[in-house]
């Protein structure tokens, strides 16, 4: 929210502040109690022989926080999890990146990390789909697979000795992404889940929530048809009418604007919340280009505050 700059009138400003205040009041009491700032004392039982983890320090026999965040406890380990942090890769993360360099037997990708990621030629499927050793001919044809500025989806395989990431794209669901928009959001707004690939059938759109904060919204691609032979690529390039339909492009832009609005408001990005925001704009007859206006930001904040209040009321009623 600190980076949100909108030209609000007096009424919109009051409504937005009221919605944000209600959202803050609806935050769980346990989470608020566990929040710490730098130099705050973390209450612990010294008899438990606790282990001091990341973001903690021992001063005068007390455990003191060295970061702003939330105190987490795992058995005897106590550490501070920062709420706003840069992307910290983990093996198995689904990421979206952009090719910035083609080097011998590898591509270098920008993935919103302190270092570039590396995708080796041997760590991906070849266009013909045949599993075989990579030859010098394959290395010469690397630019026909991925070239500079191509957007790619891949998985984190491991870390190299210099700290850079090693990626792999051996599955058919990974590879080059086309006919869509690449959005950049703070990585902490994308939580790690079992599923990061989403096919929104009602829009005929694919949504990929990259753990690194890169989000892809594009035309749906059937898995299995993404890898084409050279002849198929030539045929598709010769087909002048092979374009994304206008209605699908409108859906892509509407979903992308929904992501922009939610990201600017600081809401955690989930596929359900993105669809709900896009449908709310359509039902309110808000044009795609007007979704980034001040009024829709205020409406989105009010809608989210009402949704969380209803969830809390149902939870208390169930008890």
pLDDT, tens only, 153-208: 999 999 888 878 899 988 888 989 999 999 999 998 998 898 999 999 999 999 99
Quickly state the pLDDT bin for 129 (edges 50, 70, 90). Answer: low
The pLDDT value given to residue 3: 54
Classify 214 as helix, strand or coil.
Answer: strand
If you count DSSP H runs as helices and E runs as strands, how many of each does the chain have, helices first? 8, 16
Contacts of 308 by beta carbon, 8 Å cutoff, 6+ apart: 23, 26
Is this model's pTM higher than 0.95 or not?
A: no
Number of compact structural domains in the chain: 3
Q: What are phi and psi of 46, to 5 degrees?
A: -65, -20
Rounded distance, CA 299 to CA 175, Å? 37
- CATH of residue 47's domain is 2.40.50.100
Angle at 242 between CA 236 and CA 247, to 5 degrees: 150
Cross-strand bridge partners of residue 151: 98, 177
Rounded distance, CA 251 to CA 262, Å? 17
pLDDT, tens only, 42-78: 888 777 788 888 889 888 888 899 988 888 888 888 8
- CATH of residue 139's domain is 2.40.50.140
pLDDT, tens only, 204-220: 999 999 999 999 999 98
Rounded distance, CA 185 to CA 216, Å? 11
pLDDT over 60 (residue 1)? no
- Structure tokens belonging to residue 262: 């939610």
Are residues 138 and 63 part of one domain? no
Rounded distance, CA 260 to CA 255, Å? 9
Are residues 308 and 183 part of one domain? yes
Rounded distance, CA 255 to CA 164, Å? 32
pLDDT, tens only, 84-117: 777 888 899 999 999 999 999 999 999 988 888 9
281 in a structural domain:
yes
228 in a structural domain:
no
Rounded distance, CA 60 to CA 76, Å? 20
Strands 205-209 and 197-200: antiparallel
Task: Determine contact, residues 298/313, Cβ cutoff 8 Å.
Answer: no
Mean pLDDT of the chain: 85
The pLDDT value given to residue 97: 94
Rounded distance, CA 176 to CA 124, Å? 11
What's the 3-state SS for 28-89?
CHHHHHHEECCCCECCCCHHHCCEECCCEEEECCEEEECCCEEEEEECCEEEEEECCCCCCC
The pLDDT value given to residue 68: 86
Are residues 6 and 47 part of one domain? no
The pLDDT value given to residue 318: 64
Are residues 53 and 25 part of one domain? no
pLDDT, tens only, 260-281: 999 999 898 999 999 999 999 9
Which whole-number Å values give the CA distances from 167 to 6, 52, 317, in the listed order?
39, 32, 47
Q: Which of 109-113, 125-129, 307-311 has the highest mean pLDDT?
A: 109-113
Are residues 138 and 110 part of one domain? yes
CA quadruple 149, 260, 191, 207: dihedral, nearest 10: -60
Q: Is 13 left (phi over 0), alpha (psi -120 to 50) or beta?
A: alpha
Are residues 250 and 140 part of one domain? no
156 in a structural domain:
yes
Which whole-number Å values give the CA distances from 225 to 21, 173, 216, 220, in the listed order?
48, 10, 19, 11
Own/partner long-range contacts of 111-116 (Cβ < 8 Å, ≥24 apart): 111/87, 111/165, 111/212, 111/214, 112/87, 112/184, 112/187, 112/212, 112/213, 112/214, 113/86, 113/87, 113/89, 113/165, 113/212, 114/86, 115/162, 115/163, 115/164, 115/165, 116/164
Structural domain of 289: 1-29+179-223+244-318
């Amino acid at each position: 929210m600190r980076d949100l700059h909108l030209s609000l009138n007096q009424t919109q400003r009051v409504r937005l502040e009221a919605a944000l205040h209600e959202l803050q009041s609806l935050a769980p009491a346990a989470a608020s109690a566990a929040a710490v700032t730098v130099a705050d004392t973390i209450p612990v039982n010294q008899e438990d022989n606790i282990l001091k983890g990341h973001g903690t320090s021992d001063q005068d026999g007390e455990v003191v926080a060295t970061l702003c965040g939330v105190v987490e406890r795992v058995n005897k380990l106590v550490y501070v999890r920062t709420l706003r942090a840069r992307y910290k890769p983990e093996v198995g993360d689904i990421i979206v990146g952009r090719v910035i360099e083609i080097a011998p037997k590898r591509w270098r990708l920008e993935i919103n990390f302190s270092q570039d990621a590396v995708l080796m030629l041997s760590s991906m499927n070849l266009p013909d789909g045949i599993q075989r050793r990579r030859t010098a001919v394959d290395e010469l044809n690397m630019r026909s697979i991925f070239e500079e500025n191509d957007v790619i989806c891949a998985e984190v395989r491991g870390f190299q000795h210099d700290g850079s990431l090693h990626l792999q794209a051996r599955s058919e669901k990974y590879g080059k992404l086309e006919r869509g928009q690449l959005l950049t959001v703070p990585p902490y707004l994308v939580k790690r889940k079992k599923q990061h690939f989403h096919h929104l059938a009602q829009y005929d759109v694919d949504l990929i929530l990259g753990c690194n904060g890169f989000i892809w919204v594009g035309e749906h691609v059937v898995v299995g048809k993404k890898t084409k032979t050279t002849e198929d690529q030539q045929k598709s390039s010769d087909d002048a009418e092979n374009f994304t339909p206008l209605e699908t492009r409108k859906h892509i832009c509407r979903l992308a604007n929904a992501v922009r609005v939610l990201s600017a408001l600081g809401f955690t990005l989930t596929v359900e919340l993105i669809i709900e925001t896009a449908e709310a704009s359509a039902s309110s007859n808000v044009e795609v280009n007007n979704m980034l206006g001040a009024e829709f930001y205020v409406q989105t904040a009010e809608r989210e505050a009402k949704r969380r209040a209803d969830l809390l009321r149902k939870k208390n009623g169930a008890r």
